[in-house]
């Protein structure tokens, strides 16, 4: 992070199980470290069965200098509904919250309000459902939660699970704009832009890309995607 930009990455860890079917949290962390991000928004960070312990151990992330933002549930989870955030550098957490999302599958989003080098910044981490009808309802629920809060430059980051046109989600997220991020799924030969960012107009995306360097192509079925932001 510099005084003029802030880098956010989003990465679906797939519970740290790679395409070789090996659970390698050390490999997942190697990919995360290579992103050089100030905030990394993660999905599928916990194992599937209760008490859903962290697939990426807390101590391993903290040993590499990451601060785990406080979204985890009792039982050792790193996040909430599989969503987590790791932070680095000179930033302060002002507030954090869970956002309940509707749908047949258990889903939720997480919110962090931060003081950063570019000023106050709100980051929403999400992993939307597999059915478009519920994805639209979930984005609408996030927008209702945001409208109940004081305005702040905001980034939605995560796995939107949208294979087709992003226009319906864009309509549901009225007031935010989606970045044209590169394809990130499947990792070996990406064709779908599942991993995305949506931002308020007061933020300017300076650049964004998918991270394809080894071992990202095998560490998960998703590639991580990052973006650098500045204030307009």
Q: Does some domain include residue 111?
A: yes
What was the pLDDT predicted at 73? 65
Q: What pLDDT is attached to residue 4?
A: 86
CA atoms within 13 A on the CB side of 121: 24
CA dist 154 and 125 (Å) reads 11
Check residue 52 and give its pLDDT.
Answer: 72
Question: Which CATH number characterizes residue 184's domain?
Answer: 3.60.10.10
Domain presence at residue 126: yes
Residue 22 belongs to a domain? yes
Q: Provide the residue range defining the domain that includes 152.
A: 6-231
Which whole number is the average pLDDT over 182-201? 98
Q: Could you tell me if residue 1 is inside a domain? A: no
Q: Is residue 204 part of a domain?
A: yes
pLDDT of residue 77: 87
Q: What is the mean pLDDT of residues 83-109?
A: 95
The contacts of residue 110 (CB under 8 Å, 6+ apart) are 69, 71, 79, 80, 83, 84, 85, 96, 97, 98, 99, 124, 125, 126
Q: Which two tokens stand for residue 88?
A: 């680095």
Over the stretch 11-64, which tens digit does the pLDDT of each residue have?
999 999 999 999 999 999 999 999 999 999 999 998 866 667 899 999 999 999
Domain count, the chain: 1
Residue 165 burial by Cβ neighbours in a 10 Å radius (0-12, 13-18, 19+):
exposed
Q: Kindly report the CA angle at 98 between 87 and 180, in degrees rounded to 5?
A: 60
pLDDT averaged over every residue in the chain? 94
Asked if residue 197 is part of any domain, the answer here is yes
The per-residue pLDDT for range 140-155, each reduced to its tens digit, is 999 999 999 999 999 9
């Amino acid at each position: 992070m510099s005084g003029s930009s802030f880098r956010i990455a989003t990465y679906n860890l797939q519970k740290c199980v790679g395409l070789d079917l090996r659970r390698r949290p050390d490999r997942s962390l190697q990919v995360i470290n290579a992103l050089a991000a100030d905030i990394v928004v993660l999905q599928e960070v916990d194992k599937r069965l209760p008490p859903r312990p962290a697939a990426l151990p807390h101590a391993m992330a903290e040993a590499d200098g990451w601060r785990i933002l406080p979204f985890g549930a009792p039982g050792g989870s790193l996040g909430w509904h599989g969503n987590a955030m790791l932070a680095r550098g000179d930033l302060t957490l002002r507030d954090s919250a869970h956002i309940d999302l509707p749908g047949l599958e258990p889903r939720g989003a997480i919110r962090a309000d931060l003081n950063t080098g570019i000023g106050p910044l709100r980051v929403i981490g999400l992993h939307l459902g597999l059915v478009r009808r519920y994805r639209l309802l979930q984005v609408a629920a996030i927008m209702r939660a945001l409208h109940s809060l004081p305005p702040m430059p905001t980034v939605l980051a995560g796995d939107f699970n949208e294979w087709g046109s992003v226009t319906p989600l864009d309509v549901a997220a009225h007031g935010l704009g989606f970045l044209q991020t590169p394809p990130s799924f499947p990792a070996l030969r990406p064709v779908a832009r599942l991993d995305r960012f949506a931002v308020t107009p007061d933020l300017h995306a300076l650049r964004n890309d998918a991270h394809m360097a080894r071992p990202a192509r095998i560490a998960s079925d998703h590639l991580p995607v990052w973006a650098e932001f500045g204030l307009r």
